[in-house]
C-alpha cells in the first residue's frame, strides 16, 4: 500500500543551487502515534483512506521512515523580526519530504515541522510540541474553511519524547502542505549578502513556477512585486474581515504566494478591540489587529528593497522610484478589498462615498463591547423598519447604535434590499463558527491526556464555518470568563 502514490523525488526548489538549502534527514521520535488528520487534505493528495490508520503512515509523517525517492531539504532565509533584520534564519525544525501533484495538476510540497535538527536550528532543538502543533493544524484547516489563502495541514503525529520549553512537554510533528513555502525572507537573505546572481535565480524560479505571466511583462521583477503586493493586500483584508490576528508578522513569516503561514500566537477577536494583541511577547503592540495592514506594507517594503538589484541593475535610484510607485498601490488595493468585503458583511451591493464612515462608526460603537463574530452573524437579521432590540440591547451606548442603524437602514432602502435574500448572502460571508482560543485550549488540554476527540470535533466543525450546525450551537457561544486569561507567545 503506497502512502503517497504521487510522490515525486524531484523537489522543485532543489533545482536551485545547494546553498539555497541543505539536504537533511529527519530525526526519529520514539513510539510515534497518530493524533489527528485532515480528510480533505488527504483526499487532495490522493491518499488511500485505509493507509491512514497504518503504522507506516505514522512512521512516514513523523520522519521515522523515508519513502522511496524522498530526499528532504531545509531552506535558508533571513528576515525582519519585530522590525529588526536577522541575517540568517531558515527552516530550523522543518524539512520538505517531497512533492505531490494532485489530480488538478497542482504540486504540493510536503513538509514536516518538528522533525528534528537542521543546519538552521541555531539554538533550537528542531522539535515542536503538541500544543503548538494542534494550534497550527486546526487553524490551517479552519482558515481554508473560511476561504482564506493558507498553508494546509495533513496530520499531526505525536510521541512521549520530552521537549523543554517553559515546562517539559511532549513532542509532535505537523505535516504542513503548500504549493511553496518561499517567504519574503528568502529574497532578503541573498539581497543583504549581495548575492545578486542568486537573487535573480530565486526570482526567476518563483516567476517560472508561480507567476508565469510576469515573464511576459516589460519588467518581470517589477511585475512580480506588483503581483505579491496585490495578493498580500487581499490576504490581509481577509484577515481583518474575520477578525484574525496573526501575532508574528515578521517578514520571514510572509508567503511569496500570499498565503497565511506560520501559525504561532494567533487569535481571532472575541470582543471587538481594534488594538487587540494576541502575542503576549509583543509588548509594544507592533502586530496588533489594527496594525496588520500597516505591517503588511512594511514587509512588502522589505521585499521591494530586496528586489531592487533586479528591477534595475544599472540605476539604483530608478529602481527605488519604480518600487516606490508599486508600493503606493498597496493601500488603495487593500482599501478596495477591505471595503468590498465589508459591504458583503453588511449585505450591501453598491459602493457609496459614505462607506468608510459607515464602517468606522460601526466599529467605534462596537469597541470593547460586542463579540465580533456573533454580532456580524446576528446582523443578518436586521430589519429596516424594526427596532432591532436583539442588536440594540448589546450596546452600552444605545443611542450610538440607533444613529448607525438609521444610516444603515437608509443604505439598505436605497438599494431596495430584500431581507431574506440579504440574510442568505450575509450568512455566506459572516461565519457562525471560528477557532476561538479557548476552544483550541480545551482541545489541547484533552490531547495532553491522550484524548484527541476534541481535535476531530473542531476540525469537522470548522470545515463548514458558515453553516448552521444546530447540534454544535454551543461552539458559537461567547467565550467563558477564563478565556480572557489565556496568554500566547512565540514559544513552541
> Residue 381: inside a domain, yes or no?
yes
Q: Which residues are catalytic?
A: 252
Whether the predicted pLDDT of 1 surpasses 60? no
pLDDT at 491 exceeding the cut of 70:
no
Q: What mean pLDDT is predicted for residues 212-230? A: 97
Q: What is the pLDDT of residue 77?
A: 98
Q: How far apart are CA 275 and CA 367, in angstroms?
A: 10
pLDDT of 488 over the 80 cut: no
| Inside any domain, residue 370 | yes
Task: Please tell me the predicted confidence (pLDDT) of residue 447.
Answer: 97
- Tens-digit pLDDT profile for residues 159-170: 999 999 889 999
User: pLDDT exceeding 90 applies to what percent of the chain?
Assistant: 91
User: What average pLDDT is seen over the chain?
Assistant: 95
pLDDT at position 81 is 97
Question: What is residue 484's predicted lDDT score, i.e. its pLDDT?
Answer: 75
Query: Tens of pLDDT along 75-132?
Result: 999 999 999 999 999 999 999 999 999 989 999 999 999 999 999 998 889 999 999 9
Residues 487/163, Cβ–Cβ less than 8 Å: no
pLDDT above 60 for 177: yes
**Over residues 418-428, mean pLDDT:** 96
Domain-located, residue 379 = yes
The closest alpha carbon to 440, from 280, 235, 290, 264, belongs to 264
Q: How confident is the model at residue 188 (pLDDT cuts 50, 70, 90)?
A: very high
pLDDT bucket at 483, cuts 50 / 70 / 90:
confident
How far is the C-alpha of 184 from the C-alpha of 190, rounded, in Å?
Answer: 11
How many domains would you assign to the chain?
1
Mean pLDDT along residues 256-278: 96
What was the pLDDT predicted at 490?
A: 67
Average pLDDT (331-339) is: 98
Give the per-residue pLDDT at 165.
87
Is residue 361 included in any domain, yes or no? yes
Residue 217 resides in a domain:
no
In-domain check, residue 402: yes
* Dist CA 459 CA 288 (whole Å): 27
Q: Is the pLDDT of residue 262 over 90?
A: yes
Sign of torsion over alpha carbons 257, 263, 266, 270: positive
Task: For residues 303-331, give the mean pLDDT.
Answer: 96
Mean pLDDT of all residues in 264-283: 95
pLDDT at 173: 98
pLDDT, residue 387, reads 85
The pLDDT of residue 67 is above 90: no
φ, ψ (nearest 5 deg) of residue 18:
-70, -15
DSSP string computed for 272-330: --TT---BTT-TT-TT-GGGHHHHHHHHHHHHHHHHHHHH-SS-HHHHHHHHHHHHTTH
Cα atoms in the 13 Å half-sphere on the side-chain side of 289: 23
pLDDT tens digits for 364-410? 999 999 999 999 999 999 998 888 999 999 999 999 999 999 999 99
Say whether pLDDT at 224 is over 60: yes
Confidence (pLDDT) at 492? 52
Range of the domain at 403: 348-416
117 found inside a domain: no
pLDDT at 123: 83
Q: Which helix (H) or strand (E) holds 33?
A: strand 33-37
Residue 372 falls inside a structural domain: yes
**What pLDDT is stored for residue 464 in this prediction?**
97
pLDDT score for 284: 93
> Which residues of 62-180 form beta strands (DSSP E)?
73-75, 79-81, 84-86, 94-101, 107-113, 128-129, 152-164, 168-178
Amino acid at each position: 500500500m503506497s502512502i503517497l502514490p504521487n510522490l515525486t523525488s524531484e523537489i522543485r526548489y532543489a533545482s536551485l543551487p545547494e546553498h539555497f538549502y541543505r539536504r537533511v534527514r529527519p530525526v526519529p521520535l520514539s513510539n510515534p502515534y497518530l493524533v489527528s488528520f485532515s480528510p480533505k487534505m488527504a483526499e487532495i493528495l490522493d491518499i488511500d483512506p485505509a493507509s491512514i490508520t497504518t503504522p507506516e503512515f505514522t512512521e512516514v509523517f513523523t520522519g521515522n521512515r523515508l519513502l522511496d525517492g524522498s530526499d528532504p531539504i531545509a531552506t535558508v532565509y533571513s528576515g525582519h523580526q519585530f522590525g529588526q533584520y536577522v541575517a540568517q534564519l531558515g527552516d530550523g525544525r522543518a524539512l520538505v519530504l517531497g512533492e505531490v501533484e494532485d489530480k488538478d495538476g497542482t504540486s504540493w510540497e510536503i513538509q514536516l515541522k518538528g522533525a528534528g535538527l537542521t543546519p538552521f536550528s541555531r539554538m533550537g532543538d528542531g522539535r515542536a510540541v503538541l500544543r503548538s502543533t494542534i494550534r497550527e493544524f486546526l487553524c490551517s484547516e479552519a482558515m481554508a474553511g473560511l476561504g482564506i489563502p493558507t498553508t494546509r495541514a495533513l496530520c499531526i503525529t505525536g510521541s512521549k519524547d520530552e521537549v523543554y520549553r517553559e515546562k517539559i512537554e511532549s513532542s509532535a510533528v505537523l505535516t504542513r502542505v503548500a504549493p511553496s513555502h518561499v517567504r519574503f525572507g528568502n529574497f532578503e537573505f541573498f539581497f543583504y549578502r549581495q548575492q545578486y546572481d542568486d537573487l535573480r535565480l530565486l526570482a526567476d524560479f518563483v516567476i517560472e513556477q508561480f507567476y508565469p505571466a510576469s515573464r511576459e511583462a516589460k519588467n518581470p521583477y517589477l511585475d512580480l512585486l506588483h503581483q505579491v503586493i496585490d495578493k498580500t493586500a487581499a490576504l490581509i483584508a481577509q484577515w481583518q474581515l474575520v477578525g484574525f490576528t496573526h501575532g508574528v508578522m515578521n517578514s520571514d513569516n510572509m508567503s511569496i504566494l500570499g498565503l497565511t503561514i506560520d501559525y504561532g500566537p494567533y487569535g481571532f477577536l472575541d470582543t471587538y478591540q481594534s488594538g487587540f494583541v494576541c502575542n503576549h511577547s509583543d509588548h509594544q503592540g507592533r502586530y496588533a489587529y489594527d496594525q496588520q495592514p500597516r505591517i503588511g506594507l512594511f514587509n512588502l517594503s522589505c521585499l521591494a528593497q530586496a528586489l531592487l538589484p533586479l528591477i534595475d541593475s544599472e540605476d539604483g535610484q530608478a529602481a527605488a522610484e519604480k518600487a516606490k510607485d508599486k508600493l503606493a498601490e498597496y493601500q488603495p488595493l487593500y482599501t478596495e478589498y477591505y471595503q468590498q468585503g465589508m459591504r458583503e458583511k453588511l449585505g450591501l451591493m453598491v459602493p457609496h462615498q459614505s462607506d468608510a464612515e459607515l464602517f468606522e462608526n460601526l466599529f467605534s460603537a462596537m469597541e470593547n463591547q460586542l463579540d465580533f463574530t456573533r454580532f456580524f452573524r446576528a446582523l443578518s437579521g436586521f430589519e429596516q423598519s424594526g427596532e432591532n432590540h436583539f442588536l440594540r440591547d448589546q450596546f452600552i451606548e444605545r443611542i450610538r447604535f440607533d444613529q448607525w442603524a438609521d444610516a444603515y437602514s437608509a443604505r439598505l432602502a436605497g438599494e431596495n434590499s430584500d431581507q431574506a435574500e440579504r440574510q442568505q448572502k450575509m450568512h455566506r460571508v459572516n461565519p457562525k463558527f471560528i477557532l476561538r482560543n479557548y476552544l483550541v485550549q480545551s482541545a489541547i488540554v484533552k490531547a495532553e491526556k491522550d484524548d484527541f476527540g476534541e481535535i476531530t470535533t473542531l476540525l469537522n466543525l470548522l470545515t463548514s464555518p458558515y453553516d448552521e450546525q444546530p447540534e454544535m450551537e454551543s461552539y458559537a457561544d461567547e467565550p467563558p470568563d477564563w478565556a480572557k486569561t489565556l496568554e500566547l507567545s512565540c514559544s513552541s
